[in-house]
Structure 1
Amino acid sequence: MARYVFITGGVVSSLGKGIASAALGTLLQARGYRVRLKKLDPYLNVDPGTMSPTQHGEVFVTDDGAETDLDLGHYERFTGRSATKTDNITTGRIYKNIIDKERRGDYLGATVQVIPHVTNEIKNFVTDGNDGYDFVLCEIGGTVGDIEAMPFIEAIRQLGNELPRHSAVYVHLTLMPYIPAAGELKTKPTQHSVKELQAMGIHPDVLLVRADREIPEAERKKLSLFCNVRPSAVIQALDVASIYDVPNAYHKEGLDDEVLAAFGIEPAPQPRMETWEEVSRRIHNPEGEVTIAIVGKYTGLKDAYKSLIEALYHGGIANQVKVKLEWIESEIFEKEDPAPYLEKVHGILVPGGFGERGSEGKILAAQFARERKVPYFGICFGMQMAVVEAARHLAGIEKASSTEFGKTSEPVVGLMTEWVKGNELEKRSAAGDLGGTMRLGAYRASLKKESRIADIYGTTEISERHRHRYEVNVDYKDRLEKCGLVFSGMSPDGVLPETVEYADHPWFIGVQYHPELKSRPFEPHPLFASFVEAALEQSRLV
């Protein structure tokens, strides 16, 4: 039977519960245990699919087509286990499920209430589908004391009583701020946070305390005394140079030992940390540096491109080089010459996005990369703008555009209304809900033999994750290929273009999918590894 670790956060948000959960999962996995991670989000959206990237950060997409919180990306990158739609739930989804049941009469006329109906729904989500796992780690979004998180806290309190003894452990992540005027770290915020948690009936077994400097032994003992936890269970979580140093750092501080001790598992098998030690070694001992320009529209919040950033760093790990990112708002190119911004970079990446704003700047970035022979990587929208650029400047289709921007006489990119997935026909319409009209999740693609991208993958059959509404119009394929743009990857039925490239360019590839979602530090995605390698070659020419 699975054991459960519940991770809560206190004092302030953005302390890194997702990284902490992923790192703990990694440490348990390194000891030979089978681990699953789940995220409970307290916001009322059904999923993050329609939320602004500048507010919420990126939307992480699973193989089975779920739009989820970005923390699931951390879970995948650290453990290597692919997440599913059953690993993330929101208050909105819970209430939607309950209201649907109430309308069907499933509650037999009972008054539907937060307790027991909402908490039961949460508990069912936490405990369902865990056969075969030794540990299930559940991260509770938000901060203890938030009104919207209270049903989740109550649900995990109930589970602590309902599960067999020694089957639930509570880890509380807090902040220990340093006050320069006093010249000391302060324990009071953590004390108050734990007091708030205890008032809800939960007594943390382990305190994971974020700090920017070593926590003196006296302060640890103080936290142990006032927060009613074992002295050894006060674990300092110091800032580290890379998130991939976190598993080793937490292991050295004894986090995994203390969690296992709280379950009564002593002695526990020792973890195999060789993979993470090698990842850290490569990160901290680069043999070169490359600069990649990211030409996007959400550059104000880097979390909007979280998986992309990490995948580029993974490409650096593969080549043992440091990847420096140059963030450029694409709208700038609509007012200024791109050359001064792009002349000294070693690679240009145009990521996914939605809407017309900044699109002309992305087209100009693709044109610069094509004409100046700079490595170019277009992902989703970045591929579409590269195709529009080719249509305008190589094929002479001056009015080439996307129907996403409005009516056009030359719909080089348009809304496809049906396609085949496996053996089934899938359909969508322009009038459908935004969250339900995308091509979401894993789709297969067939790559052209002897193409650059097939060579990079080492195969002609691939499966990658998608998240988009619009597609490159296959009706323009022949005209564009005559101009040198090779459609090197297509959907199995030959209807949807999946990848494009130029044979006479050092490295110019566009993909309709999101390869960054499947990259891992210990297993970098081949496209990112190859792109960074091409940027390294470019650095020797600049």
Structure 2
Amino acid sequence: MIFLTKYIIITGGVVSSIGKGITSASIGRILRSYGLKVGAIKIDPYLNRDSGTLNPYQHGEVFVTYDGMECDLDLGHYERFLDVELPGVSNITTGKVYQSVIDKERKGEFLGACVQIIPHITDEIKSMVRKTSGIEDYDVVLIELGGTVGDIESQPFLEALRQLRNEEGHDNVMFVHVTFIPYLNAAGEFKTKPTQHSTKELRSTGINPDMIVCRSQEPIDEDFKRKIAHFCDVAPNAVVNAPDAPSIYEIPLTLANEDVGKFVADRINLDVDNESADLDQWKTTVKSLQKQDPVVTIAIIGKYIELEDSYISIRESLLHAAAEVGVKLDLKYISSDIDELNQNELKSLDGILIPGGFGERGVEGKLDAVEYAIVNELPIFGICLGMHSMVIQYARRNNMEDANSTEFNKDTNFPVIDLMEEQKKIKDMGGTMRLGSYDCKLIVDTKAYNSYNSKSVPNDEKQIEERHRHRYEFNNEFKDKLQEAGLVISGVSPDDFLVEIVELPDHPWFLGCQFHPEFKSRPNKAHPLFVSFMDAAAKYSKNNK
């Protein structure tokens, strides 16, 4: 039996950062409500092979898949909205495509042919799309093309996707074009021209959009939709409005109210009952995210705070946890890249989260935050470099005055954080990384064990699986000394060699983990460590306000 996957291709027009990823994920959430198996692909037209070496200020956070691929942050949206785990091949980049084609050319696979954009590059793009589609036998695969229609780097992808439609058949592929509808205060009206021009640009590539999703600051009316339909040559019910919303998780409900599910199902002949869509659970989730009190104030203390997308998965995980605990999150961003943290600002907090990162800049500010949390018994959660900061500061408090990571000081007398010996010989950027899912053994009767067993892990389960992205590890040479000083190692690799979680038993909530739990949190299934942390912060808030 030949399994036939349907494709929904999402392009963007007018401006970048328009919300294609959220639109794609929302359409996917609606299709999942029919009981369909939905996958997603993000195409990034940059030449980097992956997102691993990109500065967070350039591209936001780096999302890591279970199989260890460093990807665009939109993969995180897809996983959270669809409640799936996507493979690394779900992120296609220009770098991956060209590298694959050149490798084939070097091996002589093209039999001496002149390698060209068409057919070799476009064929490779289609091959990558189909490979991803076949991994899980998806009913529907969403394909989001990054950038804006008209960008020169997107042209080979648009051509490949046009060919994909012709090869797979009109009834199996549809195009959704996401555009921006500006409102001119001086004129007192929305304007359709940018959408008209963007759609014309897309049609010049041989692609006619089947649906146009209009992003706007405020809702647009039916007359305005009909005008867009007329000038952009689509059906009136194919023009959908997605105005700004208080929460991204409301967008699936907005699109569902516009009958997007029915339109998509009819357009690509999905074998579903339009009455069977069940978004009740999603509605309950959205409602829980709208709680207004009590307020719990958490600060992310890091060095990339100017761009909130640098910590987007952490932000969303905190929101998920707040909803589960039944509180409203008041999230602050505090720069660690300063001479001294503002003590008055720290006094207003109910919890501190120190995120991951690379490089020495901002580390001393993170260490100051750890010290404040210890002295004032303020709940604190450290992730990756955040855990390193907790270990370093705790060591300094216990007769290891210049304790440090060799990432920051190779000559420290107390390298409590260090590269493993087998990593030191690797020179390529990324080659020393521990990436993807690894098992972690929980130590019974610890805060970590109790956190997991209270929610998502059966009580007789002592092993979890979490995603990693780091180079440096807890240095086992100092394990005994730090444990004697009171540090509890509550999670280790199955062979007992690598330290995964540390905590302090006599502190309200002092826990650091080597892995990145934020990558597995879902709006309807908050990560247990975030829930436990938020619960501790809520109790701190209640007792201190």
Band of TM-score, shorter chain: over 0.9
Shift of 1:435: 2.1
Shift of 1:431: 4.2
Shift of 1:123: 0.4
State the secondary structure of the residue aligned to 2:122. Answer: helix
- Structure 2 counterpart of 1:130, which letter? S
User: 1:280-335 deviations in whole A, cap 9, x for unaligned?
Assistant: 11122344110001110100111010100000000111112111111110122xx2
State the secondary structure of the residue aligned to 1:166. Answer: helix
Aligned match of 2:221 in 206, 212, 216? Answer: 216
Q: In the aligned structure 2, how far is the partner of 1:509 from the partner of 1:406?
A: 24
Check conservation: 2:90, 2:132, Cα contact below 8 A.
Answer: no
- Structure 1 counterpart of 2:394, which letter? A
- Structure 2 counterpart of 1:236, which letter? N
Check conservation: 1:338, 1:364, Cα contact below 8 A.
Answer: no
Check conservation: 1:516, 1:525, Cα contact below 8 A.
Answer: yes
Aligned match of 1:49 in 49, 52, 74? Answer: 52
Q: Percent identity?
A: 49
> Do structure 1's residue 138 and structure 2's residue 138 form an aligned pair?
no
Shift of 1:264: 3.7
Match of 1:196 in 2: 201
Q: In the aligned structure 1, how far is the partner of 2:424 from the partner of 2:483?
A: 29
Shift of 1:267: 5.6
- Structure 1 counterpart of 2:304, which letter? Y
Check conservation: 1:286, 1:320, Cα contact below 8 A.
Answer: no
Counterparts in 2 of 1:430 and 1:352: CA distance versus 1, 3 Å:
farther
Segments of 5+ residues of structure 1 without an aligned counterpart are: 419-427
What TM-score, normalized by structure 1, do the two folds share? Answer: 0.96
Match of 2:476 in 1: 474
> Do structure 1's residue 384 and structure 2's residue 379 form an aligned pair?
no
Aligned match of 2:211 in 190, 206, 209? Answer: 206
Aligned match of 2:130 in 115, 127, 130? Answer: 127
> Do structure 1's residue 429 and structure 2's residue 424 form an aligned pair?
yes
Aligned match of 1:317 in 308, 317, 323? Answer: 323
State the secondary structure of the residue aligned to 1:434. Answer: coil
Q: In the aligned structure 2, how far is the partner of 1:236 from the partner of 1:314?
A: 26
Aligned match of 1:16 in 13, 19, 23? Answer: 19
Segments of 5+ residues of structure 2 without an aligned counterpart are: 454-460
Match of 1:497 in 2: 499
Match of 1:451 in 2: 446
Check conservation: 1:35, 1:135, Cα contact below 8 A.
Answer: yes
Q: In the aligned structure 2, how far is the partner of 1:253 from the partner of 1:433?
A: 49
Check conservation: 1:338, 1:365, Cα contact below 8 A.
Answer: no
User: 1:94-124 deviations in whole A, cap 9, x for unaligned?
Assistant: 0011111111111110000000000000001
- Structure 1 counterpart of 2:141, which letter? V
Match of 2:457 in 1: none
Aligned match of 1:364 in 368, 382, 407? Answer: 368
Shift of 1:217: 2.1
Q: In the aligned structure 2, how far is the partner of 1:230 from the partner of 1:236?
A: 14
Q: In the aligned structure 2, how far is the partner of 1:216 from the partner of 1:32?
A: 32
State the secondary structure of the residue aligned to 1:110. Answer: coil
> Do structure 1's residue 508 and structure 2's residue 527 form an aligned pair?
no
User: 1:385-411 deviations in whole A, cap 9, x for unaligned?
Assistant: 100001111x20111111101312221
Match of 1:421 in 2: none
State the secondary structure of the residue aligned to 2:274. Answer: coil
> Do structure 1's residue 298 and structure 2's residue 304 form an aligned pair?
yes
Shift of 1:130: 2.5
Q: In the aligned structure 1, how far is the partner of 2:425 from the partner of 2:259?
A: 53
Residue range with higher mean Cα deviation, 125-134 or 165-174: 125-134
- Structure 2 counterpart of 1:179, which letter? L
Aligned length in residues: 530
Match of 1:65 in 2: 68
Check conservation: 1:402, 1:412, Cα contact below 8 A.
Answer: yes
- Structure 2 counterpart of 1:215, which letter? I
State the secondary structure of the residue aligned to 1:465. Answer: strand
Check conservation: 1:175, 1:209, Cα contact below 8 A.
Answer: yes
State the secondary structure of the residue aligned to 2:207. Answer: coil
Q: In the aligned structure 2, how far is the partner of 1:87 from the partner of 1:269?
A: 31
Match of 1:528 in 2: 530
User: 1:136-164 deviations in whole A, cap 9, x for unaligned?
Assistant: 11000100000000000000001111113
Match of 2:265 in 1: 260
Aligned match of 2:313 in 294, 297, 307? Answer: 307
- Structure 1 counterpart of 2:69, which letter? A
Check conservation: 2:340, 2:365, Cα contact below 8 A.
Answer: no
Residue range with higher mean Cα deviation, 9-18 or 488-497: 488-497
Moved runs in structure 1, 4+ residues, more than 6 A?
none
Match of 1:109 in 2: 112
User: 1:411-435 deviations in whole A, cap 9, x for unaligned?
Assistant: 11101134xxxxxxxxx33542112
Once superposed, what is the RMSD of the aligned Cα atoms? 1.2
What TM-score, normalized by structure 2, do the two folds share? Answer: 0.95
- Structure 2 counterpart of 1:82, which letter? E
Counterparts in 2 of 1:337 and 1:227: CA distance versus 1, 3 Å:
closer
- Structure 2 counterpart of 1:84, which letter? P
Match of 1:176 in 2: 181
Q: In the aligned structure 2, how far is the partner of 1:218 from the partner of 1:318?
A: 41
Residue range with higher mean Cα deviation, 165-174 or 276-285: 276-285
Match of 1:336 in 2: 340
